[in-house]
Amino acid sequence: MVGSRPGVLLQGKDTDPATVEAMQKATAGRKSFNVDVINYTKSGTPYWVRIACDPLWDNNGQFKGCIAIETDITKEKRDADLISYNEEMLKSVINANNIGTWRLNLQSGELTINEKWAHLLGYKLHELMPTDRKTWENLTHPEDLAYCISELEKHSMGQVPAYEADIRMKHKNGEWVWINTRGQVLSSTEDGKTEWLIGTHFDINDRITAQRKSNEQSKQMHAIVESMQDGVVTISNKGVIRTFNRGAECIFEYGRDEAIGLDVNVLINTPNRDYLNKYISNYISRNTGNAIQRYHELDAINKYGTVFPIEIGMTQMPPLGDIDFVVIVRDITQRKKREDEIRQLAYYDPLTRLPNRRLLKDRLQQVIANCGRQSRYAALFFLDLDNFKNLNDSLGRTKGDLLLCQVAARLIESVRHGDTVSRLGGDEFVVLIEGLSSDRNEAAVQVEAAAGKINVQLTQKFDLDGSPYNGSASIGVTTFNSNDSSLEDLLKQADMALYKAKAADHSSVHFFDPQMQVVASLRAAMQQDLYEALRKNQFQLHYQKQIDQHEGLIGVEALLRWAHPTKGFISPAQFIPLAEETGLIVPIGEWVLREACQTLAQWASDPAKANLTIAVNISVVQFNKKDIVHTVLNALNASGAKPHNLKLEITESLLASDVENVKVKMLELQRHGVTFSIDDFGTGYSSLFYLKQLPLHQLKIDQSFVRDIINSPNDQAIAQAVITLAIAMHLNVIAEGVETEAQRAMLQDLGCGAYQGYLFGKPCALQDLFIETQERRS
């Protein structure tokens, strides 16, 4: 016996009996045979052998026996078993997953398919037999077949690594179903041509149908989004714009391509950007989600810088690339306009645009509450235009309406920002002022001053489309400083006061409070006396000397005095504030300028006085008049006085108004030779920035710093600072209120070279000025 391992030709314990019998018959019949049997080693380990047995004959043709070759085929058997197992496994997987398999010979057209391949198309396998390439081609949609053939050729030529396509194939029921087909080259011919391909078919009909439905829904949603008037903007978690619909284009006026990639903050006006950024940062840092769930109103800004109101809602998106939020934007410009119109109708008078009774009551209630907290007085004015009915009857309702609108405008000009001007109806107006003094008498003075301003405004001539009209109003006032009074009580009190005012005279003011009426009456009487004083020339100029460090007279300051025929001299502290409030300071100031210039003109002919200057105080009210330059120059020209002898003293408070306008006027007057001094320097609006721009000649140290300069280190330091500043700015400096030689000596030691005060003489009439000088020298 010949074999790969020693053994005997005996049946093993697991050898099939039929195999043994066949071997015995073949041996007995002296025939060849091949058989695979299990054999065992001495240790009992089984192994497979293949026995090839042939009869053995001698040269004479006589049978001599058999020769057998035994080969160990254990590995071959195991490999075959593994292949069989894998084939069964693959078959199970294919059957379980409804996978069709195919094998195609590109050279012969032979096609082999499995039962599942046929089942995917609704057939039994035998219904398609016999199969070849034509079977597949006839079942494939014509539009897809060309593509498949092209892809097969590309793969067979090695241009693509695998063959794959989604195709439509004809189902037995006549419908087209979607199949995914894949394949690879299995073998080639000896001359290198692709021969066999093997592949699979998958049913993807549900997936394609769902995908198409999803695509259709996506198109529909896109169409809906694009047709929306609202803006739909998607952004990343860094606030970068990713999509921008047509509505957003219309709202922000950016093209889609312009907007995509920009920071969303370019669409939000600066003050509101933090609001949007907060929600995005909250999402990133704390993953709060659902960002802005409710709509909020913000100010947006379009491509061209126009700011407009929007309503915005933002929500977190499911993961979709780098899109994290969707923002819905609505332009609410028109809605806001309508809301404003509704509010206007509800709370404002349609003719004058002033708050109506409803809004007045709301604001009055707020003021009452404020008074309760602050204990400061407030005032409620009721105004009624005098003879308004006559105007309507004579000139018509149109002129009457025009007058009401002009009265409304003038009332607004008469009060402070924050005070309320209201129209109740007809010719009745209401003014509500709060934040007055906590002192009753001071509050009365403030109220009377406010009423005076109103009367000044309303007594000026009106132009009613070419028709001049002189008007006036009666005013009733009630005041309060607590929340004890009810709203209705205050309205009644002001109405009662108005009734008394109308019964008195045109342009009269009447207080509901008798004590305040007394204060107001005294103030009104003084105002009337001021008019009389100006008309009857009751004002006088007194002069106070200004001395240099050598006790030489260098000039004087003109000081206004009022010689009342029955009350005697009235202090400027009493009448100057009233004159400024009523505007009388302007004609009074013009009179002072004329008098001072006439005095300078008289002195010009006397060599001893020709170089003296006169300092004239100019009030803020007077300097703010448009014609102040013309007024000063007229006074100089009319008198013949030399401009360089006129010095205008202005206060620091003037610099708190329109500095540029002040500067223009000062430069124009300086160009003609007029000089300027800042009075009471250090007590008001000391802005070095403005000081260095103005054409100043002199700084005056206020008497409040001179009074205690001997004993107060602080006053000494302030005086020294003013002097040092003046020297640095190449300005002269003068100190007022010098009453003792010690004060003068200290000021001189500090560097001040000019003085004014009782030490050198009190203010006196012009005729006494040089008499005092001669007496002092003698």
Contact 178/167 with Cβ under 8 angstroms? Answer: yes
Please state, in angstroms and rounded to a whole number, the distance separating the CA atoms of residues 422 and 353: 9
Model pLDDT for residues 576-630, shown as the tens digit of each residue: 888 887 788 999 999 999 999 999 999 999 999 999 999 999 988 899 888 999 9
Q: Tell which residue, 746, 211, 768, has the closest CA to residue 543.
A: 768
**pLDDT tens, position by position, 507-555:** 788 888 766 566 666 777 888 889 899 899 999 999 999 999 999 999 9
Length of the chain: 778
Q: Which residue from 330, 334, 360 is spatially nearest to 348, judged by alpha carbons?
A: 360
Q: How confident is the model over 11-25, as pLDDT tens digits?
A: 445 556 766 776 777
Model confidence over 124-148: pLDDT tens digits? 999 999 999 999 999 999 999 999 9
pLDDT of residue 76: 82
What pLDDT score was predicted for residue 239? 85
Q: Which residues contact 161 (CB under 8 A, 6 or more apart)?
A: 155
Considering 1-10, 487-496, 650-659, 757-766, the range whose residues carry the highest mean pLDDT is: 757-766
Reduced to 3 states, what is the DSSP secondary structure of residue 153?
helix
Give the angle 381-382-383 at the CA atoms, nearest 5°: 115
Whether the predicted pLDDT of 292 surpasses 60: no
- Token digits for 212? 């198409």
- Evaluate if residue 29 carries a pLDDT over 80: no
CB within 8 Å of 176: residues ≥ 6 apart? 141, 168, 169, 170
Contact 703, 734 (CB under 8 A): no
Q: What is the pLDDT of residue 3?
A: 38
Instruction: List Cβ neighbours of 726 (8 Å cut-off, separation of 6 or more).
Output: 698, 699, 732, 733
- Which of 57-61, 484-488, 742-746 is modeled with the greatest confidence? 742-746
Hey, what are 767's tokens? 């005729």
Q: What are the start-end ranges of the H helices in 29-128?
A: 74-96, 115-120, 125-128
Parallel, antiparallel or unpaired: strands 163-170 and 111-113 = unpaired
Bigger pLDDT: 190 vs 12: 190
CA triplet 186, 190, 191: central angle to 5 degrees?
Answer: 105
Residue % of the chain over a pLDDT of 70: 89
Separation CA 84–CA 348 (nearest Å): 97
Q: Quick count: other Cβ atoms within 10 Å of Cβ 91?
A: 13
Coil vs helix vs strand at 701: strand
Do 176 and 170 meet the contact criterion of CB atoms below 8 Å apart?
yes
User: What span, in angstroms and rounded, lies between the C-alpha atoms of 650 and 34?
Assistant: 137
| CB 453, CB 414: distance < 8 Å | yes
* Tokens standing for residue 126: 């035998």
Strand order in the sheet with 46-57: 2-3, 63-72, 46-57, 33-40
Categorize the per-residue pLDDT at 429 as very low, low, confident or very high, splitting at 50, 70 and 90.
Answer: very high
What contacts 584, CB < 8 A, 6 or more positions away?
Answer: 527, 530, 531, 534, 578
Q: What is the mean pLDDT of residues 428-437?
A: 93
Mean pLDDT on 387-398: 86
pLDDT bin (cut points 50, 70, 90) of residue 326 is confident
Where does residue 754 rank: exposed (0-12), middle (13-18), buried (19+ CB within 10 A)?
buried
Looking at residue 577, what is its pLDDT?
84
Helices (H), 348-424: 357-374, 388-395, 397-414
Lowest mean pLDDT among 73-87, 294-308, 742-756: 73-87
User: How many Å apart are CA 54 and CA 760, to the nearest integer?
Assistant: 163
Average pLDDT over residues 297-318: 88
Predicted pLDDT at 5: 39
Average pLDDT over residues 182-191: 89
Give the start-end residues of each E strand in 609-742: 613-617, 646-651, 675-681, 698-701, 732-736
- pLDDT tens string 352-364: 999 999 999 999 9
Tokens of 315: 């929500």
Residue with tokens 């699979």: 200
Phi, psi of 79 (to 5 degrees): -60, -40
List CB contacts of 112: < 8 A, sequence separation 6 or more. 102, 103, 104, 131
Q: Which pLDDT score, from 0 to 100, does residue 760 have?
A: 94
Mean pLDDT over residues 44-57, rounded? Answer: 85
Strand 46-57, strand 33-40: pairing: antiparallel
Whether 243 shows a pLDDT value over 70: the answer reads yes
Rg (CA), the chain: 56
SS3 303: coil
- Rounded Cα distance between 269 and 300, Å, is 5
